[in-house]
Amino acid sequence: MEVIVKRTEQLSGTVVAPSSKSYTQRMVIASGLSEGTSHVINPLFSEDTEAALRAITALGAKVKPLDGCWAITGTKPQTVKHAIDCGESGATLRFIIPVAALAKGPSTLIFKGSIERRPVEPLLVSLNQLGAEAHVVKGEVNEVHVEGGGLLGGKCIIPGDVSSQFISGLMFACPLAQSDTVISLTSALESVDYVKMTEAVLSRHSINVNVEDRCISIPGNQIYKAVDTRVPGDFSSAAFLLTAAAITNSKMTIENLDYEVVQGDKAILGILKEMGVEGKVCPDSIEIEGTGKPLKPFKINVRNIPDLVPAISVLACYANGTSTITGARRLRLKESDRLLSIYEELGKMGAEITITEETLTIKGGPLHGATINPHNDHRIAMAAAVAALGAKGQTIIEQPECIRKSYPQFYLHLQQLGADLVGGKLDR
């Protein structure tokens, strides 16, 4: 299956941003641990959120799909009967490992893809310090075995610059530990807004955590309370549409975006403003309009907004000058080695890119069509499709279905805005 994207002079119209994958996963897990029935309203249907649903169901929660929401009746984690299939969702894997430790008996979690690229070892070490045992078994299918028996609590140490998902996973489980927990970070926390997102979801479920610079304190023996919550729209996904508007000098409105919600990736609006793109923040939408003037280059540290890098790399390709992206080392550990994927795939389109272990330097200039291998990485596929809108000729996106991980309707929304795009039926 392929998607073909041709140069498109201008886009226009209104689309509804997809619900946040990150919020949906967190709300699902917190609901699965709560006493009573919670309603997750306007959830995102994607491969990663389906993985989170499978995980909490395996651990004993009940999920009932209703019109526009999921009704989730939570429970204390139960001993699983079968392996928990986390799919290719690194977040689900890292969130559920500590939660599975709360069950009386052992659990096995399976994960597709490379655990070397999506590491879990630092999390397993921290769990061991809190009285739980877990280890990786590598094979044709990677597995994590969690012994169960509960968490004692106490003190643990963990790096803050490998994955914020480690910290979020502990934040879900440690409120149910036998005693208080103190998590000490050996390095500054990166992607801090994702930890704040977890904190916000936990607070809605009456869970108290105290997040400071390099120390997170979590009282034990807490009780998750059921609550109804609405999933906000996703700035991470909307960033690709905003980028498309900027490079085609288009005017569009993206609904279902609340600027007041905790999401680090709303920083895309500041980046666009710095580049000379006009935008307007409305109560539940963003209006964006290219000015027709050359985009200005930028310099930015992305240690707290790594998921924006594919989109802003495309912006840099169309800027009038050289842009520099620093603090991007952790992109090596995403669904693909994203620094290398950006370098290779946008490079096929004529982009002048230099990479180091943690930086991207991109000189703006004309792009041309190419055949793109997104390396089974949803954000690389979306970035290449957006880049193709301003490129000469046509671009072929292989493995286009990988967008189902976070934004299943991405190609459909581009078509609705006027993009010259044809391909498989990927609008589920």
Catalytic residues, by residue number, are 307
- Give every CB contact of residue 318 below 8 A, 6+ residues apart in sequence: 246, 247, 295, 364, 367, 390
**Closest of 328, 310, 294 to residue 372, by C-alpha:** 310
Q: Which two tokens stand for residue 401?
A: 């279905």
- Give every CB contact of residue 44 below 8 A, 6+ residues apart in sequence: 18, 19, 20, 21, 24, 231, 234, 406
* Amino acid symbol at 119: P
Taking the alpha carbons at both ends of the chain, their separation in whole angstroms is: 15
C-alpha count within 13 angstroms, C-beta hemisphere, residue 425: 1
**Closest of 259, 327, 332, 319 to residue 290, by C-alpha:** 319
276: left (phi over 0), alpha (psi -120 to 50) or beta: left
* Amino acid symbol at 109: L
**The Cα angle at residue 10 between residues 4 and 12, in degrees rounded to 5:** 100
Give the Cα separation of 140 and 122 in Å (integer): 22
CB distance 95 to 168 below 8 Å: yes
Question: Angle of helix 121-129 relative to helix 90-100, nearest 10 degrees?
Answer: 20
